[in-house]
Structure 1
């Protein structure tokens, strides 16, 4: 049977057509890409236009069906994997009342101070609110980028807009609403609001936390499972999408939930690392763990019986994209030799990055003494600091562009190592790491990650589509192709293995200490340099 999964990322959507069969691997038949805007504002705001998400979804669906020749009636379901912790506020008709506020939006500093940092405090937070939030949800809205403070920012700064709000949705939940007319939110999206009660038998939005934080519970939608059918494509949506009216729409999940599923890291204790625009380290656990000081929490995932111990890096692959655009690319010859050699956006990206990897492949471990910090838009874990920024350390007159770009990849991997070390204080991680995201397409990045971590790294087919594969996998559960999330591992085989090279691991272990000190010794200066009104 055929299904369509939409991978809704930070800067674009990929529409993927999959074939599902019991006992067989999930097969990617074809995919289409479309980009949309990301608006970075001077006050710390980061926004997107939800109508662009929908238009990109419609455009890619139409092109995909036309190119493959698959009749729309043969599509047995659609689902989503999407960026998380955005705030999409909609009216009674499901129309956005303002632009969506991205997970990267950090303008709610004042609201967080008012809501969490007044009164008797411990670790900088109100004792009562901290303890009750942790007891109820296993987490607390301790980051300025958490959705609660975006919601409160709109309430305080845009009261006329706020008065029109009917429901608070996340990215893929808005798209489900647009396709079906249903206001629903999967459990992982609900947990990501940090207003969710995770205690056994009490799962759902917490009235106590909402009251404590000043959230109107009427704004919160119904909750469903990732594998549940949330509705069916309406006549209007069918006309716009080019699908058959009545096509089942499955809720799907957030990227933090489904990329691990798509990478086959679903067993208890399995650890995966993701390197896309953002990045993270995640381990499947049986019980919730929380480390407020390191900003590591156990989040609700696609499997209702387990959690994902999760540490996030705001900018991972985005750092390499920045390096591509801003560090001496003419020196590498990209503009002169390669710029016009591509047929579409996906092949263009592959060719550009493949060419970069070729040009930096001879740079030794340690990038000839250059270190890079990947905090281009602040950082969450293992330290929360929206003022932290990227830097190159130890540049010399002999430093080259390849050295610097190689250092960018190493810097991302060193930060992921820092997160992995912080996670291991509370839970056991797996000796073999599944690696997913666009970063896993490059053998050089895979080797650097294995060397930096000192662990075996495994990749799967189409690692850049792991989120879409995860969305297809939960549809397989919803369509009764398989009976549970645990069976997915057999449908996603390994296709690449990278062993750490001891001589390189030794170099990175020494550099790791310096890397950590770069933040500790510059924390105050970041605050001085990046003051916001």
Structure 2
């Protein structure tokens, strides 16, 4: 889509913790932005997006010419024939489905499952959740006409039809990467059929136009294009410029993900051993290795409930080595057993030191993840982009940059995923970015810390 100077584009990002609704120009400059807590029901999600959109349009002073929607993967709801929700939003963090995931892995074989879907079954996999529902609440699935992910639900509210992007479908565990479509045999494990899944968009995400009903509710012009931009991590990486092998993205939030485009497929056995999924990039041109830390921002939020509201003014390095595994480790060495641990705490350390040490732990883990992803993906890193809420926390970025093996850039925008969703709606170029300041002395100080971290976690 071609836009004129002065045109604005709306973006929506349905995240784990917050919904972001924004209005941006063609370079990602923010003209209006609203953040609201992510609700637990479909109706409240639609209501909040409508409220946020109206507020953003007032802030911007004019309406957008297109809307792009991104969102977390795996979270969604079951809809009936009338489009009414039969469940609340089932979050990816919901542990239901853990036993069913083990069964899927056992019966399908993790290597063959990975070869088809680019992943293995976990409790967060929608397919495992559907199998749980089939066993524990079969009436819901019997009445189900469509499953819709979080972003798909917003698209449905805008256009009247839930349509999903391949990067979101790929996270259901029921999508065949090679064929670019739902896999009937996998869906059959839960007694479902492909027609009960949301129709797929192309990688361009075209999902329809704003309906007259949505226009009235949200203050948008009727008939403007709507794009399902895709999975939030993929959208953020695309928007920040991580579009080719050699440019990696670290997407920060409640969970943290390393997204690394690679030049070719990675052997399932290798990827499984290191806990990396193989996901399509937002534009469909590359396979991306994705691995991370499910409890990055969540760890700090939890720790604040223990140590209180201390500041983040501790000197770095803190001298504490933290294993930041609040709920086990996914990548690059999958293991459900490691817990949160602090090594090297002394009486001179206070609450601020503990909080910053936990941040160090997440950053050290990211460096390890990057090193392993580059190694198994057979790619040489040239630069990294960091995005997400923690990119605005100075000490977090100081530590991450000091530990990075390559130069770092940070997008110049109020919210990279929300802006990225908007830019995906018009096929725009990457967001402008700034270089992260380099501190050679701090880089040198973290060299032995990283070696000690690897020793403590057994990575080397």
What's the TM-score once normalised by structure 2's chain length? 0.90
Deviations 1:417-463 (Å, cap 9, x if unpaired)?
2212321331224142111111111332222112233433221213x
Residues 80 and 327 of structure 1: CA distance in aligned 2, closer, same or farther (over 3 Å): same
Instruction: Check conservation: 1:232, 1:247, Cα contact below 8 A.
Output: yes
Determine the structure 2 residue equivalent to 1:391.
341
1:446 aligned partner? 397
What's the CA shift for 1:285?
Answer: 2.1
Alignment correspondent of 1:466: 416
Match of residue 82, structure 1, among 36, 55, 71:
71
Deviations 1:265-297 (CA, angstroms, capped at 9, x unpaired) = 112321111221110111112323241122202
How far apart, CA to CA, are the structure 2 residues paired with 1:217 and 1:386?
A: 32
Deviation larger for 150-159 or 204-213: 204-213
> 2:336, 2:91 → 1: CA distance?
14
Which sections of structure 2, spanning at least 5 residues, go unmatched? 1-6
Distance 1:247 1:388 in 2: 49
2:449 to 508, 514, 518: 508
**SS state of the match for residue 115, structure 1?**
helix
2:154 to 167, 175, 179: 175
Q: Deviation at 1:101?
A: 1.6
Shift of 1:227: 2.7
Question: What's the secondary structure of 1:173's corresponding residue?
Answer: helix
8 Å contact kept, 1:458–1:498: no
Give the aligned partner of residue 527 of structure 1. none
Task: Assess if the C-alpha contact under 8 Å between 2:412 and 2:434 holds in 1.
Answer: yes
Q: CA deviation at 1:5?
A: 0.1
1:447 and 1:285, CA in 2 relative to 1: closer, same or farther beyond 3 A? same
**2:53 paired with 1:102:** no
Change (3 A) 1:265 1:114: closer
C-alpha deviation, 1:386, in angstroms: 5.3
Aligned twin of 2:4 = none
Q: How many Å separate the matches in 1 of 2:448 and 2:350?
A: 20
Distance 1:314 1:135, change over 3 A: closer
- Kindly state the Cα deviation for residue 388 of structure 1 after the two structures are TM-superposed: 4.8
* Aligned equivalent of 1:456: 407
Change (3 A) 1:267 1:513: closer
Deviations 1:339-392 (A, max 9, x none): xxxxxxxxxxxxxxxxx34x22xx131x13x23332234442224455654333
What is the aligned partner in structure 2 of residue 155 from structure 1? 134
> For residue 3 of structure 2, what is the aligned residue in structure 1?
none
CA distance in 2, matches of 1:7, 1:111: 30
The answer to whether structure 1 residue 312 and structure 2 residue 314 are counterparts is no
> Aligned ranges for residues 336-347 of structure 1 at < 5 Å?
none
Q: String of CA shifts for 1:140-187, please: whole Å, max 9, x gaps.
A: 333232221111111111112222211122110111112212132111
Confirm whether residue 31 of structure 1 aligns to residue 33 of structure 2. Answer: yes
2:307 is matched with which residue? 327
Please point out which of 349, 354, 370 is paired with 1:420. Answer: 370
2:22 corresponds to 1:12? no
Q: What is the Cα deviation at residue 465 of structure 1?
A: 0.9
Q: Is the 8 A contact 1:455 1:499 kept in 2?
A: no
- Quickly say closer, same or farther: Cα 1:29–1:495, change in 2 above 3 A: farther
By how many angstroms is 1:58 displaced? 1.3
The one-character-per-residue Cα deviations of 1:308-347 (angstroms, maximum 9, x if unpaired) are: 2111311112222333443132xx4xxxxxxxxxxxxxxx
Correspondence 1:130 to 2:107: no
What is aligned with 2:257?
280
Q: CA deviation at 1:133?
A: 2.5
Distance 1:285 1:499, change over 3 A: farther
How far apart, CA to CA, are the structure 2 residues paired with 1:431 and 1:77?
34
Q: Quote the offset at 1:498 in angstroms.
A: 3.0
Shift of 1:95: 2.2
Match of 1:219 among 178, 196, 217: 196
Report the equivalent of 1:44. none
Q: Does 1:51 align with 2:51?
A: no
Q: CA RMSD in A?
A: 2.4
The answer (yes or no) to whether the contact 2:323–2:457 under 8 Å persists in 1 is no
Does structure 2 retain, via aligned residues, the 8 Å contact 1:18–1:30?
yes
- Secondary structure of 2:65's aligned partner: strand
Tell me the number of residue pairs that the alignment of Structure 1 and Structure 2 aligns.
449
Q: CA deviation at 1:505?
A: 2.5
Residues of 1 paired with 2:229 and 2:137: CA distance?
Answer: 31
Among candidates 158, 162, 168, match of residue 189 of structure 1: 168
Q: Aligned residue for 2:144?
A: 165
CA 1:433–1:505: 2 relative to 1, 3 Å: same
Is this contact kept in 2: 1:281–1:312, CA < 8 A? yes
- Decide whether aligned partners of structure 1 residues 242 and 310 sit closer, same or farther in structure 2, where only a CA change above 3 A counts: same
CA gap 1:85/1:312 in 2 versus in 1, 3 angstroms: farther
Question: Once the 2 structures are TM-superposed, how far is the Cα of residue 495 of structure 1 from its aligned partner?
Answer: 4.5
Q: What is the distance in 2 between the residues matched to 1:129 and 1:513?
A: 31
Q: 3-state SS of the aligned residue for 2:295?
A: coil
